[in-house]
Amino acid sequence: MNFKRYLPSSPVLRAGVAAVLIAALAACSGTSRPKPAELPANPALMGVRQAWNVRIPAVEFPLSTSVNGDLVAVASSDGTVAVIDARAGQEVWRAKVGEPLAAGVGSDGSMVAVVTANSELVALQGGKVLWKQRLTAQAYTPPLVAGRRIFVQAADRTTSAWDAQSGRRLWAQQRPAENLVLKKPGVLLAVGDTLVTGVGGRLVGINPANGTSRWESPIAAPRGTNDVERLVDLTGSVSRVGDVVCARAYYATVGCVDAARGALLWTKPAVGADGLGGDDRYVFGTEDNGTVIAWRRADGERAWQQADLLKYRVLTAPLAVGRSLIIGDSTGLVHVLSREDGSPLNRLTPDGSAIVATPVLAGNTVVVVTRNGGVFGFRPE
């Protein structure tokens, strides 16, 4: 099993360390964004139909969904957690944690884990809360559920492992905490028998059995003379093919690492806030100005860019599916682009509210979540 524009929010004190949380760029910029470019008529070159729709309460935090086969776990801001079978859009179960959430969901298909705004790790199974445990600091990265364990990355740079059934803490690795961290989901995944996490601008490989470090590889290095300029957290979804993991450093670079040996393969400058998608040929990303870029996975050279179509739109990370890229935006549109050159193929409007999570693929269904709590399943015709 495979296992820069900022305004600080109020400080949080944990173990004598002040962690000043930085909100997302769109909410923090002191000036308004330019008006998005007018969209051309929908070409409708690729047929896509809505297969189903499930409603959950509103989603007002950076959401990450979790997919295992045909099962999709989603969560809302008020602490509602649901598992949906994407084949027919049927709810497997739904539960309430009882508190607002600060991070999205992690799941292995059986166990689901979330983190509350009160810094509690909560494990659920079959629609019931199994246990809750207090964390050392707030967490904004969804927990990783793998190998009968739950792994958590907290804002104070503590990575911890918990027994999924009992809630007993198995180990914790504490890293020196920076003064500034992003109030956004970071990187946490299993690659073979290695736990891979983002610490500052570095990907770090950890032994999941005991928390010891195996390797570190820099995607971006801190620069500048103050804490804001030196902030280079890894953020959002990653693109993984085999042992190669490609990630984004917030408003700095994108890069790829061989996670089997911790070797940096390449990095390239990039100006974006959300994660990456990809396939065996390309790594795809969206930039702050609405540009969509494809980098060659082998060497990081730019294969193509779509700079005009979605200009100045606030975009999610791309999902690569078949011959297309699926990208949501803050106006409530879902854009279907060609993965070969970024040209438009289709455009969808789920419910008119912002797309709040990177679209995910469950079986043969693309799942999209909106701010109003719409969970939509789309399929190509």
Q: Give per-residue pLDDT as tens, 236-294.
A: 999 999 999 999 999 999 999 999 999 999 999 999 999 999 999 999 999 999 999 99
Question: Does 232 have pLDDT greater than 90?
Answer: no
| Separation of alpha carbons 162 and 103, rounded Å | 17
Q: Is residue 339 one of the residues assigned to a domain? A: no
User: Which pLDDT band, with edges at 50, 70 and 90, does 23 fall under?
Assistant: very low
259 neighbors 245 (Cβ within 8 angstroms): yes
Number of domains in the chain: 1
Q: Is residue 147 one of the residues assigned to a domain? A: yes
This model's pTM is above 0.85: yes
Question: Does 111 have pLDDT greater than 50?
Answer: yes
What pLDDT score does 179 carry? 73
- Which one has a higher pLDDT value, 161 or 21? 161
Instruction: Look at residues 1, 21, 2 and name the one whose alpha carbon lies nearest to residue 10.
Output: 21
| Separation of alpha carbons 140 and 121, rounded Å | 11
Report DSSP letters for 97-142, one per residue.
-SS-EEEEEEESSSEEEEEETTSEEEEEETTEEEEEEE-SS---SP
Mean pLDDT of 342-362: 96
User: Which pLDDT band, with edges at 50, 70 and 90, does 118 fall under?
Assistant: very high
Q: Which two tokens stand for residue 295?
A: 């980098």
Q: Which two tokens stand for residue 136?
A: 């050392």
At 175-226, the pLDDT tens digits run 887 777 888 899 999 999 999 999 989 999 999 999 999 999 999 988 777 7
Q: Is residue 379 one of the residues assigned to a domain? A: no
Q: Which two tokens stand for residue 212?
A: 């010891």
Instruction: Look at residues 40, 4, 62 and name the one whose alpha carbon lies nearest to residue 316.
Output: 62
What is the domain-level CATH number for residue 115?
2.130.10.10
| Separation of alpha carbons 324 and 337, rounded Å | 5
Q: Is residue 37 one of the residues assigned to a domain? A: no
Question: Does 297 have pLDDT greater than 50?
Answer: yes
Domain hosting 229: range is 8-32+65-324
- Whose tokens are 């620069």? That residue is 223
Q: Is residue 258 one of the residues assigned to a domain? A: yes
Within a 10 A sphere around the Cβ of 330, how many other Cβ atoms?
Answer: 17
What pLDDT score does 226 carry? 77
Question: Does 31 have pLDDT greater than 70?
Answer: no
At 359-379, the pLDDT tens digits run 999 999 999 999 999 999 999
Mean pLDDT of 57-86: 90
Q: Is residue 199 one of the residues assigned to a domain? A: yes
